[in-house]
Every structure is written in structure tokens, then in C-alpha cells.
Amino acid sequence: MATKREYYFDNAKFILIFLVVFGHFIQPFIDDHKIIMTIYHFVYSFHMPAFILVSGYFAKGFKKEGYIKKTAKKLLIPYLIFQLIYTIYYYFLYNGQSLLFEPFNPQWSLWFLISLFCWNVMLYGYTKLPMKWSLALAVIVGVGVGYLPFVENYLSLSRTFVFFPLFLLGFYCKKEHFTALKRPAVQVGSAILLLAIFIGYYFVPDFNTGWLLGSKSYETLSQENLGGLIRLAVYAISIVMTIAFYSLLPKNKYFFTSWGTHTLYVYLLHGFVIKYFRNSEWLDVINDTGNFVILVIASLILTLLLSSKTIRAITQPLIELRISIIKRFFRVKQEGY
């Protein structure tokens, strides 16, 4: 039977995957609409850090026999499958501009699968150190890698090192840490903090979105001298916003809770719709009308649709490499006769 703790993290995963979809929907409009850019910066400051932290929290069994093999099957095989599918899809979507399969240069959001696998492997080395030293080393490496201009998208190396401190922090988190965040005083402080950061983003001009993506070197971001300090500041903002998010996160079961267990489907599949949308006339229609509420609704519908049993049954062979949903469907159907 599911516990409230499980509901809590399922709620987190659903809300965060919704924000992933929503963030990708609104990205084309950030340069023309200040409020959209503010929302984008606000969301991107914590949604992937919070996702990565909870992924680390559930990686505590990494030393179990067969864990890495199971993780590789779960992440790397779907990565290669969807890397090929997206390569073909983009070829036709962009009128046959290029059909080049590059397994070591992740297509768009597929970086997360490579990085997540690497983070699990990296635990073997980092956990040999005391917690404070392993976290300090992870931050030092995450900051230092920005000075290497050749470390960017290839094998998702930049994001792997930049976001690893969040994964490692999640690994060291315990249930009581999340419980402590539910204290009323912490929740009030979290709400005030998030509001202050949102207002701050609105009034900070020309903030480079690249700092939130973790995929660019300081040279690319034109901050070779202050890059390390800026990354430390971004770390601080991401961590406090992630803490605030988990403080305000509901812990009971809601209509959307069960969908939080199927986030990998949404993550891998939503790109087909997003890329089509960005290449369609709808982009100009929404940009001209400024009716961005439509994108909120579209994000929710798409998240729910891609979490549905029908979509999962169709795509499970590609994502989980099995057909258990289809088997259950036909077994139930046969038992009904």
C-alpha cells in the first residue's frame, strides 16, 4: 500500500515533469515577453535541480548487485533508441536538412538519461569520502568544469558535472530532512523566498539563460573571469529554491499523484510535440495574441496524455523494453470471455 511519503515524491515528480513540458512550450517566447522570460528563469532555476535531487534520493541502493546493469538497461538503451528516433524525426521535420546519427551528442532533452546514468556510477567514487568532502569536491568540479571550453554537450559532460552536486545532495538526504521542511515557519519562509526570487528575476535585466542550463562553458557565456562566482550563485539559488519547493509540496494523494510514476514516458515523448509546435504556425498565433494561458492548459493535457495507459502501452517496448501493459490488457480481455 502506498504511503504518504511515496505520495509526496510522486506529487513532486508529476509537478516537475509538468514544469519541464511547460518550460519547453514557453521557451520560444522569452525574448519578446518579459513576464514569460521571468517565469522561464524562475522555473528553470529549480525544476531540474529538484528532479535531480529526488533522483539522487532514490539512488541509495546503488551498491546492490546488478544495480548498475539494471540502470544501464533502463537509461542507456532507451537513450540510444530515442536518439535515433529523434534524429530521423528532426530530419523530416526540418525538411531533410541533416540526417546524422550522433550517439555521443544527445538530442535536446535526452542529455538527462546519459547524465543520470553517470551520476549513479559516480556515487561509487564520491561516497568513499566523508559527506562534507564529497559534496565540496562535487561543487569544485562543477564550478571548475566551466573553465574548460571543450566540455559542453558531448556525452552531456558539462551537465553531468554541473548538476552532480544536486544528485549527491539528494543521495545524502534522509526522510527526516524532508519532514523538517513541512514545519509552518519553514513553509512561510519558503513562500516568501520564492516570491522574492520571482520578483528579482523580473527586475534583473539581461540574465543569460545559459547559466541555468549547465551546458555551456564560461567562455561561451562570455564570463571567463567571473564564471566561477556566478555558477556558485546559481547553485545557491537552485538549492534554496529546491528546498522551498519541497517545503511547499503537498504530501497527500491527489488526482495527479499516480501519474508521477510515469515521468520517463513524458520526458522522452513530449519533445515530438514541442518541436512540432515550435515549427508550426501556432507559434506566431500565440505570440501575436499573447494568450499564454493556452500553453499552461496544453502542458497539462500533454503531460496527462503521455502518462496515460494507452500511450504507455504503445511506447513501453521502446522505453521499458517490455510489453507488460499490453499483456495485461489481453489477459483481462480473455478472462472476460
Q: Which of 129, 126, 130 is nearest to 161 (CA)?
A: 126
Lowest-confidence region among 67-71, 102-106, 290-294: 290-294
- Supply the range of the domain harboring residue 160: 4-335
The number of domains in the chain is 1
| 3-state class (DSSP) for residue 66 | coil
pLDDT at 3: 53
pTM of the prediction? 0.93
Q: State pLDDT tens for residues 16-29.
A: 999 999 999 999 99
Distance (Å, rounded) from C-alpha 147 to C-alpha 162? 12
> Does residue 186 have a pLDDT over 60?
yes
Quick one: average pLDDT of 176-186?
97
- Model confidence band, residue 204 (pLDDT cutoffs 50, 70, 90): confident
- How is residue 223 annotated by DSSP? -
- Rounded mean pLDDT, 223-231: 96
Q: Give residue 1's pLDDT band: very low, low, confident or very high (50, 70, 90).
A: very low
Query: Residue 68: what pLDDT?
Result: 94
CA distance 123 to 165: 11
Is the Cβ–Cβ distance between 183 and 248 less than 8 Å? Answer: no
CA distances in angstroms from 308 to 232, 263, 277, 330, listed in the order given:
39, 11, 21, 17
What share of the chain in percent tops pLDDT 90?
A: 85
**Amino acid at position 167, single letter:** F
In sequence order, what are the residues at sequence separation of 6 or more whose Cβ sits closer than 8 angstroms to the Cβ of residue 86? 107, 108, 110, 271, 272
Q: Which residues contact 82 (CB under 8 A, 6 or more apart)?
A: 107, 110, 268, 318
Q: What pLDDT is stored for residue 290 in this prediction? A: 76
48 or 288, which is more confident: 48
**Residues 230, 207: contact at Cβ < 8 Å?**
no
Residue 32 predicted with pLDDT over 50: yes
Mean pLDDT, residues 62-73 taken together = 94
Contact 99, 88 (CB under 8 A): yes
At 206 the pLDDT is 79
Neighbouring C-alpha atoms within 13 Å toward the C-beta of 201: 24
